[in-house]
Amino acid sequence: MESFHLLIRKNGSLTVFTTLLSEKNIFHRSLTISLPFYKKKRTGYENIDSPKYGNLIHYLTSGKDRSDRSKLFEEDNAGYQYKFPAHKTKTKLLKNWIPLMNPKKSSWHQKIHPRLPLQIDMQKNNWASVTSVLHQTMPVEQAFYLEKWKQRMILNLGKEGFEEYVKSTFQKGKNFHAAMEALLLTKGNFIKEQKEDTSISNYIMSVKHVLQNITGVRALESAVQHEALYYQGLVDCIADYCGTLCVIDWKTSEKPKPFLQNTYDNPLQIAAYIGAINHDSNYDFQVNCGLLVVAYKDGSPAHSHFMNFELCSQYWNKWLLRLEEFKEKGKNNTV
C-alpha cells in the first residue's frame, strides 16, 4: 500500500489529506492541479466560431448593382477570434406581405426564351438596391465582427495597404463576373471577346462542372426591379439549371461553404431578385427557384446550393422584414 497526499486550498489555507491507495485501484498516478491564485486572463474576444467570422464579410463582397456590383473584399484566412457582447434581439413581425409569385403575370412564356439573353440597364431612380438594404439592415452582431476584421486588416497592412487590397479584390470580382458572362454567352453560341485573366483562372476552373448543367440562358447581368415594393438590383444570371429555371448568383470564397447556412444573406439576395423579376414588366416569365454557386480560389469544385420554391419563400419572408426595417430607418432619418 502507498500513501497519497492531496493538497486542497480552501478559504485561503491549504489542507493536507493522506489516503492509502491500493495498486489495483490506481489508474492514473499523476495529477494536474489548477490553483485559484493563478488564472489566465481572458480577453473580450474569445470563443467565437471562426468560420462564421470569416463569412461575415460577404456583405462587402456581394454587390451587384452598377455602383457596387463587384466584390469589395474577400474572406480573411486568419483565425482571430472575437466574442460579441451580449445583445437581445426582438422578434419582428411582417406588417405587409406580398407574395413571391405574381398572380397577375401569365406563365405562358415559361418555356420560351429570347435568342439573345436580356441585359437590361439599371434605371436611374431613387429606389433602394438589394445590396444597400441588406448592408444597412445588417444584424448588430455581424456588423461588430466586420468592423473588427477591418481594424485588424488595417493593423496588419496599414491604411494604404488595406486600400490597395480592397482595390485589387474589387477588380478581381469584376473580372470574374465578366468572365462568367462571356462563358455563358459563348456556350449559347453567341460571340463575345474574352481576355484570359490568370488571377481568376482557378475560380473559372472551380465552376466548370456547374456550367455543364446550365442551359437556356435568358438574362445576364441584367437589372431587375420590384414595381410594387420599389427596390432594384442586378441579377447575375437567369437560366435553366438541370432543367429548372433559376436565378443564379456567383460568389467567390477562399474557405469552403458546403452548406447554405454558411452563406448568410446571399439566399435573401436571391429571393429578393426572384421577387423583383416576377413583378417586373420587363420580364414576361416568372422564376420560383434559385441557385447559389460558390467558386473557390484554389480551383476546387464549387458548391452549388439549389433553392427550391419552399426555401425561396422562406427567405422571401425574411427579405420582406429586412426591407421594412430599411424603409423604417429611412423614415426616422427624415424626421
Give the active site residues: 236, 249, 251
What end-to-end distance do the CA atoms of the chain give, in Å? 84
Residue 181 · residue 221 · CB < 8 Å: yes
Residue 56, amino acid: L
d(CA 70, CA 175): 9
d(CA 276, CA 287): 10
Residue 17 · residue 5 · CB < 8 Å: yes
Q: At what angle do helices 309-334 and 266-278 cross, to 10 degrees?
A: 90
Residue 321 · residue 315 · CB < 8 Å: no
Cell 427567405, residue located: 315
Q: How far is CA 220 from CA 9, 198, 216, 333, in A?
A: 71, 23, 11, 36
Residue 228, amino acid: A
CA nearest to 80, candidates 152, 31, 27:
152
Instruction: Return the sign of the alpha-carbon dihedral for residues 315, 317, 322, 323.
Output: positive
C-alpha cell read off for 154: 488595417
Backbone angles phi, psi at 300, to 5 degrees: -65, 155
Q: Is residue 251 packed enough to be buried (19+ CB in 10 Å), middle (13-18) or exposed (0-12)?
A: buried
